[in-house]
């Protein structure tokens, strides 16, 4: 009897959940849609009939809840809802994909197949394997974009119902959520879901911090209620005067983002809550939307002083996620800053729902195409084999959070790129073929270096040539994972190819020098040239950095060792002037200019034809760059006395020797994007090259070790100053 009652009430529970799912669906469901969904429900109920969740409730409530998130919060259509209901069927029960295909059709079966593949990925604690799993998960985008969205919904429901799980599992699942699911949700414009995932993630990874901040947000809300009320009352009064239709709501504060702000800006809770936030959501005809937003802006700023630094116009240039709104910050009563978000009802819906709403409005019908466009681009990146999964996931995550700039193609098409992107990133964004053959770039009609950082509003023209190919130095400044992945894979192939040829060249050259080509010789060569792998060696022979002259030196060095073994040390006496001369012609191969020893483009002047090692100076000409003259050039005196301001000091250096290694230790607060900024500062400083980098973070504390090749200490000091300016960096110490 007891069992019967229980079953009955459970059935009622299931029926109730199902009805709610249909009722709250964001998209209008046709009779055929409802039939399809009902069929999926029946299969799922049957498949899971003997299963219970850890909490004790019937398992089927989980897929229904996931389907509800898909239908209501994300706003996807009937196929997605049905697939969500069936998402655990193949993995957990005796049903197969073939069963689902014959019962529910190929579309649904394919989505479920994708979801099943993700779930069956190897669970492993090893970081790189974990990364590999994420990568595979992202690769399922090849099957159907909806897979990843339903997976996010599945994750959200699991996070909401994690209390019955053992703590260790909670922490693992929560960390994964923060690492990849929340950024993904952010990138596809599902802000509410992202926020909830983050808050839940924090709740399980750092529960004390979570509860502390939650409590303080509540206290703060209680104490500021009066102030907000008075501000809202005034705002409403002013807006009503203008006959606007609108409503005002408080902006819920995310616990996770509050914490992130406290950590990254090193601010106290009170400092963060210095700013209050409200949202004005107004009714509008489609063609009045933008006008009304600015009208509201002008009404509010007529009464409250705006902070000009804090105006964000996402209406004229929406985020690539589809987000539109006008954000302003004004001085409210009692001299307190208030952030005001101004959105039409349509914009509000987009902000809440993401793409589903965006495309409902944009195309007048409900489709998921916008998402497809974004995901298509992702797919291309993902298709590139990248042997280092950790690198891949890192690049990928950085791109998920990067802020955006907007630039134009020569035809005036608007493109969005992450902040810090270069012309090379742009080229790869347009088309891989363009990226692969980029030779140069023009910004607003002017030639710029390929490392130029694009700014919003730039118009970019890429100059291509069939003979140009990616260059290793591009990796120093490109920032999109798309460009990075493509360049890396090209270089890997290219390097291998060159190395194969280089190996044959080396074999031939060693034979001429009467040195055997064998493992012991290769090892000696590696030591002599300070290289790590034979691939590096062959590659350098292939591109000619290791040439006959250098190989002869190696040969001489080897025989000297042999003779020195028998000989006592004998002082070598040589005419010092001869030694010097030798040194100069051999090694002094590069001119540097000024105190900072900059490298500039230059030409040797024909009037005195200087050669390497001569005492020289540079003369800045009007149309022909820097010209080099000997100090004893017949024209030197005239130039120096009449154009002193155009003279630059120049000296010859040995480009391979005149660099020293500096080690820096950076400490600070762990912050997303910090690594990015640090490497950016270093890589954009001229004459400083990164040799190795390692970044560690532990409980929010960031520690980075950087090994650099530097020309001189003045440059190094200048760069350290810049590093210290980065938000979050506490100390930079030279070790
Ligand atoms: Mn599930």
DSSP one-letter string for 79-110: HHHHHHHTTTHHHHSS--HHHHHHHH-HHHHH
Q: Could you tell me the distance, in angstroms and rounded to a whole number, from the CA of residue 607 to the centre of ligand 1?
A: 80
Q: What average pLDDT does this structure show over 413-438? A: 87
CA of 91 to the centre of ligand 1 (A): 9
**Measured distance CA(652)–CA(157) in Å, rounded:** 67
pLDDT in tens, 378-408: 555 455 544 455 555 665 665 565 566 777 7
Residue 282's domain is classified under what CATH number? 3.30.460.10
20, 91, 352, 461: the active-site residue: 91
In this structure, the answer to whether residues 178 and 218 fall within a common structural domain is no
88 C-alpha to ligand 1 centroid (Å): 5
Q: Are strands 688-698 and 701-710 parallel, antiparallel or unpaired?
A: antiparallel
The rounded distance, in Å, linking the Cα atoms of 633 and 653 is 21
Is residue 726 in some structural domain? yes
CA–CA gap between residue 382 and residue 140 (Å, rounded): 10
Q: How far is the CA of 154 from the centre of ligand 1 (A)?
A: 5
Neighbours of 542 (CB within 10 A): 20
The CA angle 236-238-240, to the nearest 5 degrees, is 65
Ligand 1 center from residue 87 Cα (angstroms): 6
Which residue's entry shows tokens 């391979």? Answer: 656
Q: Is the pTM higher than 0.85?
A: no
Q: How far is the CA of 81 from the centre of ligand 1 (A)?
A: 13
What's the confidence (pLDDT) of residue 465?
87
Task: Note whether residue 366 is domain-resident.
Answer: no
User: If you measure from the C-alpha of residue 177 to the centroid of ligand 1, how many angstroms do you get, rounded to a whole number?
Assistant: 14
Residues 198 and 329 in one domain: no
Average pLDDT over every residue of 244-259: 83
Q: Separation of 63 CA from ligand 1 center, angstroms?
A: 6
Same domain, 183 and 320: no
Query: Which of 336, 389, 499 has its CA nearest to residue 127?
Result: 389
Question: What average pLDDT does the chain have?
Answer: 79
Q: pLDDT-derived band of residue 531, with 50, 70 and 90 as boundaries?
A: confident
> Residue 286 Cα, ligand 1 centroid: separation in angstroms?
39
End residue of a domain, out of 160, 175, 207: 207
234 shares a domain with 341: yes
| Residue 47 clears pLDDT 90, i.e. is over it | yes
**CA angle, 485 as apex, 483 and 490 as ends, to 5°?**
95
How far does the centroid of ligand 1 lie from the alpha carbon of residue 258, in Å? 30
Segment 18-40 mean pLDDT: 92
| For residues 715-733, average pLDDT | 82
DSSP state letters, 675-689: HHHHHHHHHHSTTEE
Q: How many CB atoms lie within 10 A of CB 388?
A: 13
| Highest mean pLDDT (candidates 35-49, 154-168, 309-323, 418-432) | 35-49
Confidence of residue 577 (pLDDT cuts 50, 70, 90): very low
Is the same domain home to 61 and 193? yes
Question: Is the domain of 158 the same as that of 39?
Answer: yes
Beta bridge partners of 394: none
CA of 122 to the centre of ligand 1 (A): 16
CA distance 556 to 558: 5
128 and 261 share one domain? no
Categorize the per-residue pLDDT at 274 as very low, low, confident or very high, splitting at 50, 70 and 90.
low
| CATH number, position 109 | 1.10.3210.10
Model pLDDT, residue 562? 60
With a pLDDT cut of 70, the percent of the chain lying above it is 78
Q: SS3 for 619? A: strand
Residue 590: the pLDDT is 73
Distance from Cα 131 to the centre of ligand 1, integer Å: 21
Q: Catalytic pick from 20, 92, 367, 589?
A: 92
Mean pLDDT throughout 702-718? 77
Task: Reduce the DSSP state of residue 343 to 3 states and report it.
Answer: strand
pLDDT at 112 over 50: yes
68-88 per-position pLDDT tens digit: 999 988 888 899 999 999 999
Residues paired with residue 702 on neighbouring β-strands, in sequence order:
668, 697
Ligand 1 centre distance from Cα of residue 368 (Å): 23
Query: Region 329-345: what's the mean pLDDT?
Result: 86
The predicted model gives 645-659 an average pLDDT of 69
- State the helix-helix crossing angle for 423-430 and 481-512, rounded to 10 degrees: 100
Do the domain assignments include residue 442?
Answer: no
- The residue ranking higher by pLDDT, 631 or 32, is 32
Q: Which contiguous run of DSSP H or E holds residue 54? A: none
What value does the mean pLDDT take over residues 492-505? 85
| Higher pLDDT pick, 392 / 352 | 352
pLDDT at 46: 94
Q: Residue 373 falls within a domain, yes or no?
A: no
Q: How many CA atoms lie within 13 A of 390 on its CB side?
A: 4
Range of weakest confidence among 142-146, 281-285, 596-600: 142-146
Q: Where does the pLDDT of residue 368 fall: very low under 50, low under 70, confident under 90, or very high at 90 and above?
A: very low
Q: Mean of the pLDDT values across residues 646-669?
A: 73
The verdict on 234 and 355 lying in the same domain is yes
- Whether 92 is catalytic is yes
**Same-domain pairing of 706 and 588:** no
Residue 246: phi and psi, rounded to 5, are -165, 170
404 alpha carbon – ligand 1 mean position (Å): 34
- Has residue 581 got a pLDDT over 50? no
Kindly indicate the confidence band of residue 45, based on its pLDDT and cuts at 50, 70 and 90. very high
Residues 200 and 213 both lie in one domain = no
Q: Where does a domain end: 360, 384, 409? A: 360
Per the domain annotation, does 413 fall within a domain? no
The H or E element that residue 664 is part of is strand 660-669
Q: Is residue 456 part of a domain?
A: no
Specify if 278 maps to a domain: yes
Rounding to the nearest 10 degrees, give the CA dihedral for residues 391, 397, 401, 405. 50
Average pLDDT over residues 411-417: 75
Number of domains in the chain: 5
Alpha-carbon gap, residue 63 to 39, rounded angstroms: 14
3-state secondary structure of 626: strand
CA distances from 152 to 16, 228, 461 (A): 24, 35, 38
Higher pLDDT, 255 or 357: 255
Quote the crossing angle between the two packed helices 78-85 and 106-119, to the nearest 10°.
50
Decide if 477 is inside a domain.
no
Please give the distance, rounded to the nearest whole angstrom, from the Cα atom of residue 486 to the centre of ligand 1: 35
Per-residue confidence (pLDDT) for residue 392, from 0 to 100: 58
- The partner residues of 138 in beta bridges, in order of sequence, read none
Q: How far is the CA of 114 from the centre of ligand 1 (A)?
A: 13
Mean pLDDT (whole number) for 172-179? 82
Q: How remote is the CA of residue 359 from the centroid of ligand 1, in Å? A: 27
Answer for the pair 436, 486: CB distance below 8 angstroms, yes or no: yes
pLDDT at 685 over 80: no
- Shared-domain flag, residues 263 and 335: yes
| Ligand 1 center to 85 CA (angstroms) | 9
pLDDT at 586: 44
91 is catalytic: yes
Q: Are residues 157 and 217 in the same domain?
A: no
Lay out the sheet containing 626-630: strands in order across. 590-593, 647-653, 616-620, 626-630, 602-604
Higher pLDDT, 99 or 706: 99
C-alpha dihedral, 669 to 670 to 671 to 673, nearest 10° = 120
Q: Ligand 1 mean position to 555 CA, how many Å?
A: 66
pLDDT of residue 572 exceeding 50, the answer is no
Q: Which of 329, 360, 391 is the last residue of a domain?
A: 360
Determine if residue 698 is left, alpha or beta; phi over 0 gives left, psi from -120 to 50 gives alpha, anything else beta.
beta
- Give Rg (Cα) of the chain: 32
Q: 319 C-alpha to center of ligand 1: Å?
A: 31
pLDDT of 657 higher than 60? no
pLDDT score for 365: 42
Query: What is the domain extent for residue 634?
Result: 581-650
| pLDDT (mean) for 508-514 | 89
At 192-233, the pLDDT tens digits run 899 999 999 999 988 888 998 888 888 877 777 778 888 889
């Amino acid at each position: 009897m007891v069992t019967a009652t229980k079953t009955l009430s459970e059935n009622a529970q299931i029926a109730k959940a199902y009805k709610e799912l249909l009722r709250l669906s964001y998209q209008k469901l046709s009779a055929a849609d409802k039939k399809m969904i009902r069929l999926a429900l029946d299969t799922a109920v049957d498949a899971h009939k003997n299963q219970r969740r850890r909490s004790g409730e019937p398992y089927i409530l989980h897929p229904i809840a996931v389907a509800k998130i898909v239908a209501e919060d994300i706003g996807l259509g009937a196929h997605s809802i049905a697939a969500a209901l069936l998402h655990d069927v193949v993995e957990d029960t005796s049903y197969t994909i073939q069963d689902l295909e014959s019962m529910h059709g190929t579309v649904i079966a394919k989505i479920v197949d994708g979801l099943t593949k993700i779930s069956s990925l190897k669970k492993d604690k090893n970081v790189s394997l974990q990364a590999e799993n994420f990568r595979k998960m992202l690769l399922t985008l090849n099957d159907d974009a909806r897979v990843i969205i339903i997976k996010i919904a599945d994750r959200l429901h699991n996070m909401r119902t994690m209390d019955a799980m053992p703590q260790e599992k909670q922490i693992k699942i929560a960390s994964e959520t923060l690492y990849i699911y929340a950024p993904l949700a952010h990138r596809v414009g599902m802000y509410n879901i992202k926020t909830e995932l983050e808050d839940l993630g924090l709740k399980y990874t750092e529960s004390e911090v979570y509860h502390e901040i939650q409590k303080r947000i509540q206290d703060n809300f209680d104490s500021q209620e009066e102030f907000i009320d008075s501000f809202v009352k005034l705002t409403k009064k002013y807006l009503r005067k203008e006959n606007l239709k609108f409503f005002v709501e408080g902006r819920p504060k995310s616990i996770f983002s509050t914490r992130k702000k406290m950590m990254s800006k090193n601010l106290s809770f009170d400092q963060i809550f210095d700013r209050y936030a409200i949202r004005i959501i107004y009714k509008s005809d489609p063609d009045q939307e933008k006008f009304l937003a600015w009208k509201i802006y002008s009404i509010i700023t007529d009464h409250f002083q705006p902070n000009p630094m804090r105006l964000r116009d996402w209406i004229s240039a929406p985020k690539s996620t589809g987000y539109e709104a006008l954000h302003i910050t004004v001085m409210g009563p009692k001299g307190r800053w208030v952030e005001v978000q101004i959105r039409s009802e349509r914009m509000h819906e987009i902000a809440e729902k993401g793409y589903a709403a965006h495309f409902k409005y944009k195309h007048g019908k409900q489709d998921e195409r916008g998402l497809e466009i974004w995901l298509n681009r992702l797919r291309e990146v993902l298709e590139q084999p990248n042997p280092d999964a950790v690198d891949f996931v890192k690049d990928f995550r950085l791109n998920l959070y990067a802020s955006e700039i907007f630039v134009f193609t020569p035809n005036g098409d608007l493109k969005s790129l992450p902040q810090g992107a270069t012309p090379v990133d742009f080229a790869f964004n347009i088309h891989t073929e363009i990226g692969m053959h980029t030779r140069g770039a023009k910004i607003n009609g002017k030639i710029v270096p390929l490392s130029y950082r694009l700014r919003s509003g730039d118009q970019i023209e890429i100059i291509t040539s069939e003979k140009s190919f990616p260059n290793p130095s591009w990796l120093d400044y490109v920032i999109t994972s798309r460009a990075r992945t493509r360049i890396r894979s090209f270089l890997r192939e290219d390097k291998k190819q060159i190395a194969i040829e280089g190996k044959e060249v080396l074999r031939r050259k060693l034979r001429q020098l009467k040195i055997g080509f064998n493992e012991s010789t290769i090892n000696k060569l590696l030591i002599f040239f300070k290289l790590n792998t034979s691939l590096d060696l062959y590659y350098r022979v292939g591109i000619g950095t290791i040439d006959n002259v250098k190989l002869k030196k190696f040969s001489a060095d080897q025989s000297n060792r042999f003779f020195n073994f028998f000989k006592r040390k004998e002082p070598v006496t040589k005419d010092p002037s001869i030694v010097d001369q030798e040194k100069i012609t051999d090694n002094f191969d590069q001119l540097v200019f000024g105190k900072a020893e900059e490298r500039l483009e230059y030409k040797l002047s024909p009037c005195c034809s200087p050669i390497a090692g001569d005492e020289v100076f540079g003369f800045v000409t009007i149309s022909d760059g820097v010209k080099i003259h000997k100090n004893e050039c017949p024209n030197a005196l005239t130039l120096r006395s009449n154009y002193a301001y155009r003279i630059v000091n120049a000296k010859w250096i040995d480009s391979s020797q005149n660099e020293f290694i500096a080690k820096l230790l950076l400490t600070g607060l762990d912050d997303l994007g910090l690594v990015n900024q640090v490497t950016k500062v270093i890589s954009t400083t001229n004459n400083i090259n990164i040799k190795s980098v390692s970044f560690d973070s532990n409980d929010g504390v960031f520690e980075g070790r950087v090994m650099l090749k530097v020309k001189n200490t003045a440059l190094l000091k200048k760069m350290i100053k810049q590093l210290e300016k980065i938000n979050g960096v506490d100390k930079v110490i030279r070790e």
